[in-house]
């Protein structure tokens, strides 16, 4: 039973972060859209989230599934709460001014990079 709550929380937190700052490939794409193409932070994040809807994960997921590396039960539980978290994260992001949103995005990237550099 504890595993279910952990999975639900994981999906919710990941969804909020995805909706809030467009995580994933957005770590590269969002800043590129902002700084090289002049997108607002909101437009860059919304565009990247839309980009992820179908084409990105499906082929990779099929490859992993064919090799026996997909736990469908876990994936479905996380996906369910990820959808909810993404909805609320995007609502929060839309309500934040662009400067604050850029700073939130930058702080998350900063701490993730420090963790990746110094922790195993």
Residue 109 placed within a domain: yes
Residue 1 placed within a domain: no
pLDDT at 105: 87
Sequence-distant (6+) residues with CB within 8 A of 51 are: 25, 29
Binning pLDDT at 50, 70 and 90, where does residue 56 land? low
Domain count, the chain: 1
Binning pLDDT at 50, 70 and 90, where does residue 22 land? low
Mean pLDDT, range 84-88, rounded to an integer: 91
Mean pLDDT of the chain: 82
Residue 98 placed within a domain: yes
0.75 exceeded by pTM: no
């Amino acid at each position: 039973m504890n595993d279910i709550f952990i999975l639900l929380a994981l999906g919710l937190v990941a969804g909020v972060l995805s909706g809030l700052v467009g995580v994933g490939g957005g770590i590269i794409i969002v800043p590129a859209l902002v700084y090289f193409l002049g997108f607002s932070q909101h437009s860059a994040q919304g565009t990247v989230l839309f980009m992820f809807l179908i084409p990105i994960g499906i082929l990779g997921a099929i490859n992993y599934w064919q090799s026996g590396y997909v736990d469908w039960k876990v994936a479905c539980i996380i996906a369910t709460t990820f959808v909810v978290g993404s909805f609320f994260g995007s609502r929060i992001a839309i309500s934040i001014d662009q400067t604050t949103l850029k700073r939130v995005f930058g702080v998350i990237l900063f701490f993730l990079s420090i963790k990746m550099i110094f922790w195993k």
